[in-house]
A and B are shown apart, each in its own frame.
Chain A
């Protein structure tokens, strides 16, 4: 079937283990104020492509991505096009590739069941562990994200978690302690990635004529980041990367 695709990046080392190709799908139900890919928000934006076309394209990268890497489907929120996503993942698995999806967790269990057997790794972005704050950041609460993580634990699926560092929102001593104890409670989390917010998408916002709400946020300096990382390491050990 056909799906709306924002772009295909042949090489990334930042979206899962090893060297990977990444498919960015269109459409996202959230509007995180720090989003780096606002061009993917529209459900019917981008290009309309046949799944076989994409699988074909990725198959040409096999010599680079098969050994230690794989393919990641990101977005947008890739689960917005769940049937299309399923076809893609199924195709990648048939090529013998490691597969990952990069999700906000804003997806129903019913939908996720359609892709779980073809997905080796779930990369889940924890927007905020407090539901009200989450709603302020993203426009939606975090209930489905917690439900997804619970389901993935039951299914014994590999999970990488991500948390975007936002000054005053996700970097306080209290927040670090809370999220760490939650992460600690999950048995299937292999890695916990901290992504310091930055303003490098400013041009995209300008090009799209969108209001860039992140620009008021200061950039992190190395020292502060080190301190945050040390604290996380104390609580969660080596699985924390920045």
Chain B
């Protein structure tokens, strides 16, 4: 029992680490609308102006402002940094200067060096030499074990975007634990956790070593906090400390971990308890409460990692996926919208639109109507929000889960995942038709069988071939993931992030597929039209399509059921192969912006898509083929079962404002209704863009006119200006649901 807990309802949480119980025993649902919200404070405005200048400088310096090449980034590698000490309410930066990036080396030395040189810098030769000679990295580990088969599949883009040269990310520390319990309590719990382990075998030894590393990281966190003048060994005693402690815990993680997606979890009901207690005791005003949240968000918007330009091709716009989930319901049937949920969203108005943090609304039919309408209003104005189905996920993850990256659900502090990028199943079809050779160069990438003969493609024959090759691919895919995560645990363990989890954590292994709509339309074409292969030097390189076929995206079961069959087949096949650390296989249909890149390495497909052109993102229907309107398109996506795709099904819809109605009030209503309908139809995720195509075309030519134009791509938000021209064109070519 800590003195900092005065005025809080006690319960199981006060005896053992149980943040969920703390929240449920103390939070106040807020049923009303946004009218109580206030604008930014003077301090916030001054600070944000300075940040905006820095962000402009960063953009004009090719996307990276500065790199500290002389230090290996760790929790305590840098002295405290400030942006504008006078006006900063929440303190802490990753390095000693804002937007200066640290170099993380444990993931891979070569990647880090490439990243430095891509921005005209050079890693300090002493560090380079030391790591080359004395320190094996995750990347070294993986490549010392990869089989020739895996290397081929990787090289020819059947397996893509694998986290074998960069931090895997997709782990959410329960940063709230630091604020609620203080670090000392967490350390004593960790010590307790391993005390009972007496039998020493490979598994328990590894666990003891990991927990030891976790404790060291927590000690480091205390040192880092005290360099800013904070004592995080004890719990936070007020709202300002709660935000500060929580941020410092997150900061410690992003200082030394360059993970692909660094979500922040589910924090607004938690923070709301501290804020409401302070407001009740007249310790802070509403304006100060908003200031805390705005300043917290400013800090999140300034987080940076050093990545190579190659990485940017897959995940464009320098994203961190600082995903915060908002709303949702609890298991007692009460909604979890608080005033602080509104305050968090209000930062979009106070600071302007930005891609980070990645605000994710957990939608339930039973959320208060005024909250739904507020979200719709913000979507229409900013296109910065994504929505996920709480009524669907609550059954699997309870009521204290977060979203890692874009769509990956997990209980905060209790579950983590091994991120597995994705395999290209559209390309796999071409490999299957070519008897295991990839279609662009004729390289044998999977076991050799016959090339499909010169006759009309028979659906059953093609499907059987595909099934065989999928099995082969899945076997290698699971092996690849096992290697990657074995090595990541060994050489680049996320010690601070994992210290903010229960020691007996549950693990998922998250596989993914890219090219779903291309594969489905291809199979639909083979089934419903007449498709004949065209050969060149004995290789099938193109197809002649005679007749028309139903395309996925028009609520036509003839095509949509194929999509359902494919995901069910894929997860079933993956599950045949055993995973590292007995993690649970999951599957996602998500591409981020990599749909452009995967398309580039895939030949002509039987649906009529031309070689090298982009796939549709995530679970989207192929661009322009969903011609029956937005509801029909949504209905098709909703047929992909979440039970087979537990790692998420990403759908991005682009609506023109006029499609939603003539007036703002009507547009809010209509969008709210669309979201209700989509989620009641068991849709899992939706990115909502409300945009005119003309604005995007104009923004391509005149980027200066649209410095903050933010759009949702598969699972996250990016500034439109940070996309490559190819990616911009891909976005513009997507289906815009509109009307004359």
Contact = CB atoms under 8 A, between A and B. Distances in A.
Interface in B645-677: 658-663, 666-667, 669-670, 673-674, 676-677
A64 interface: yes
Contacts of B674: 11, 19, 64
Contacts of B667: 13
Contacts of B659: 11-14
Contacts of B628: 8-10
A242 interface: yes
Contacts of A200: 740
Given A10-B632, A11-B630, A11-B631, A18 B740 contact: no
Interface stretch (A65-73, A92-100, A121-129, A160-168): A65-73
A21 interface: yes
- Nearest 7 CB-CB pairs, A to B? A64-B677, A10-B629, A10-B631, A10-B632, A11-B631, A11-B630, A11-B629
Interface of A: 8-14, 18-19, 21, 36, 57, 60-61, 63-65, 67-69, 198, 200-201, 241-242
Interface of B: 555, 628-635, 658-663, 666-667, 669-670, 673-674, 676-678, 680-681, 737, 739-740
A19 B629 contact: no
Contacts of B633: 10
B740 A10 contact: no
A61 B631 contact: yes
A209 to B, nearest CB: 19
A13 B628 CA distance: 15
Nearest to A62: B677
A61 B739 CA distance: 19
Contact of B662 (A21, A68, A201, A242): A242
Contacts of A201: 740
A58 to B, nearest CB: 10
A241 B677 CA distance: 26
Nearest to B660: A13
Contacts, number: 76
A211 to B, nearest CB: 19
B680 A63 contact: yes
A150 B630 CA distance: 37
B363 to A, nearest CB: 13
Contact of A63 (B662, B663, B670, B677): B677
User: Taking each of B632, B666, B678, B681, which has the highest tally of chain A beta carbons within 10 Å of its own beta carbon?
Assistant: B632
B682 to A, nearest CB: 10
Given A13-B659, A36-B740, A241-B662, A21 B670 contact: no
Given A198-B740, A242-B662, 18 more contacts: A8-B628, A9-B628, A10-B628, A10-B633, A11-B631, A13-B659, A14-B661, A18-B673, A19-B670, A19-B677, A21-B629, A36-B740, A57-B555, A60-B635, A63-B677, A64-B678, A68-B669, A68-B673
Contacts of A13: 659-661, 666-667, 670
Contact of B739 (A12, A57, A60, A65): A12
Contacts of B658: 14
Contacts of A12: 629, 659, 739
B635 A61 contact: yes
A64 B669 contact: no
B670 A10 contact: no
A10 B555 contact: yes
Contacts of B677: 19, 61, 63-65
Q: Is the interface of B mostly helix, strand, loop or mixed?
A: helix
Nearest to A22: B629
A65 B680 CA distance: 12
B306 to A, nearest CB: 44
A242 B658 CA distance: 11
19 contacts: A9-B629, A9-B739, A10-B628, A10-B635, A11-B631, A11-B659, A12-B629, A13-B661, A14-B659, A19-B631, A19-B673, A19-B674, A36-B740, A61-B677, A63-B681, A64-B674, A69-B673, A198-B740, A241-B662
A205 to B, nearest CB: 12
Contacts of A241: 662-663
Question: In the complex, which of the residues B629, B633, B680 has the most CB atoms of chain A within 10 Å of its own CB atom?
Answer: B629
A18 B672 CA distance: 11
Contacts of B662: 14, 241-242
B739 A14 contact: yes
Contacts of A64: 631, 634, 673-674, 676-678, 681
Given A13-B659, A13-B670, A19-B670, A67 B631 contact: no
Contacts of B632: 10-11, 61
Question: Chain B CB within 10 Å — which of A14, A18, A21, A63 has the most?
Answer: A63
Nearest to A204: B740
A208 to B, nearest CB: 14
A61 B740 CA distance: 22
A74 to B, nearest CB: 12
Contacts of A36: 740
Most chain B CB atoms below 10 A, which of A9, A10, A61, A242: A10
Nearest to A201: B740
A75 to B, nearest CB: 15
Nearest to B555: A60
A201 B630 CA distance: 21
B580 to A, nearest CB: 41
Contacts of B635: 10, 60-61
A18 B669 contact: yes
B423 to A, nearest CB: 31
Nearest to A19: B673
B683 to A, nearest CB: 10
Contacts of A198: 740
B676 A67 contact: yes
Contacts of A8: 628
A14 B667 CA distance: 11
A61 B633 CA distance: 11
A12 B663 CA distance: 14
Given A13-B661, A36-B740, A241-B663, A18 B670 contact: yes
A10 B669 contact: no
A20 B674 CA distance: 10
A64 B680 CA distance: 9
